Amino acid sequence: MSRLLSSVAVTFLLLGGLAVMPAALMAAADKEPVNTAWMEAGKADAKASFAKQAGSAPKAAAWPTIIGEYLWSGRADDKYKPFFMFELRVRGATKTTEATKYRIVTLDPARKAQTSGPWMDLGKVNPGETRELSYKLNCPTFQAFQVEITWKDGAKNVQETYLAWDKVAMLPVALSEVANVPFLICLNQNFEHDETKKLAAVSYMLWNIGGKPAKDVQQTILFKDGAGKTVHSHEIKPARPEVAGGFVGEVKLSVPKVPSFANLAIATKMTDITTLDPGSFTGAEEVEIAQVRAEGKVLKAKVRNGLKTPLSGVVVVITLTDGNGKAVKALNLPVGELKAGEERDLSTDISTVGVWSGYEVGWKSSEPPAPTGTTASAPKSPATPALLVDGLEFTVTSTRPDKDGLAVSGILRNKRDADLDGLVVSFTLPNGSKDGAVVTLKPGKLVMGEDGVAVNFTATGVKAFTGLSLKWVSKKQ
């Protein structure tokens, strides 16, 4: 306050022994501060996040859709209070919506409203129109949040609700989209470990945000060390044979014989669908594989060619793994030719596959056609092989034969929204054997951004580069 007053010539009038501030200055003091720099702190990062999310944004629908989301926080707003800022990119519905407004509600572990923000008017939103919105809340930290959007359809009030539990990577999910399926998520994971007794007390909240019950649910708790390696796994079944739509409940258990660990992850399987992190397209200039999930006895995924050139003979390789990360089954999903910018839905039968709790993805292709504009006599310029797995990108810069195999060089980039500590990366290249050539590296810390770090390794027994798969773990994911 002293800084504000020092910049204003303040005059007091003495009336009957009272100090009175002139009305003009009183009105000025009630106005919002001119300096709004604090509101701009996360804008650039929000735009970068929107660009990454463009490839996974939902298609236009009968309701306004959220096609970009970024969350950041600060210690002090204009009132010197800590805050969260929700940056949203919203696209209009397939027809004009009138009297459109929205608000954000944070949720506690029991999925109860924790802080309800005020309604903000958007007015008339035309079909396909894009709005970028910034919404501030002064609130404590939260487990999830929902965006409520209402509008008028004639005389009728209509509402769509989006729910977000991953504050960094995934776009909020429209609840109408999961109304006819089960959709399980785990939040508020806590644990205590008795090193002497090797006993781990674990608790977490289980939500079914879908509208249908999840049947034959089986969950696997993966205990991981500081390098992200699974040191122990434990399979459990919820007390109920099925988890009803809309269910919210706490899971508590004690797991014996657990060695030292740093954190844990939970994978969930059920009869109808497998709920892992399905991943999403980022819009990056590379080949991306996302939305991997099991529906009944069918495994589904999507592939996107983000390169500027078409690819020929594309094959997506999905390796299903058990709780310890060991391969259960490698599946080759043929794609064929994939045009620049094209997305393709994939599926394959998994009725004969045993129990699995995770997956790795990779792809391979024959040499791509020459880029547009090259002449018949010009040599073909193959696209730079690149792979993005859950926000970690590896771009191959060169390959050459070596006495022991194939020497590979590339750039490893962290395209997530936070630094990665204790990073361990494992590359697998086909070499004619069942498991392929596996190379594990420990880059350590990898800061977020475009610079990346150089990576060099030799894949034993590999004669030529025909494909690559990547998996990684970190203390902070």
Q: pLDDT tens for residues 61-80? A: 888 999 999 888 888 777 88
Fold that domain 39-178 belongs to in CATH: Immunoglobulin-like (2.60.40)
Residues 6+ apart with CB under 8 A from 17: none
Q: Does domain 184-269 have CATH number 2.60.40.3230?
A: yes
Question: What is the residue whose two structure tokens read 């209009």?
Answer: 92
For residue 35, what pLDDT is reported?
53
Sequence-distant (6+) residues with CB within 8 A of 286 are 306, 307, 386, 387, 388, 393, 395
What is the assigned CATH class of domain 276-383? Answer: mainly beta
What would the pLDDT profile of 327-371 be if each residue is shown by its tens digit? 788 888 888 888 888 888 888 888 777 777 667 778 877 654 444
Q: Where in the chain is the domain with CATH 2.60.40.1620?
A: 384-477
Report, in this order, helix, strand and coil percent for the chain, each rounded to 5: 5, 50, 40
* φ, ψ (nearest 5 deg) of residue 83: -150, 165
Q: Hey, what CATH topology would domain 384-477 get?
A: Immunoglobulin-like (2.60.40)
Which H helix or E strand runs over 6?
A: helix 2-6
> CA-CA distance, 246 to 208, in Å (whole number)?
5
Among 8-17, 60-69, 136-145, 146-155, name the one with the lowest average pLDDT.
8-17
C-alpha to C-alpha distance for 436 and 434, rounded to whole angstroms: 6
Number of neighbouring beta carbons within 10 Å of residue 338: 23
DSSP string, 146-167: EEEEEEEETTEEEEEEEEE--S
Contact between residue 110 and residue 61 where contact means Cβ atoms under 8 Å apart: no
Question: What pLDDT sits at residue 322?
Answer: 66
Residue 434 confidence (pLDDT)? 66
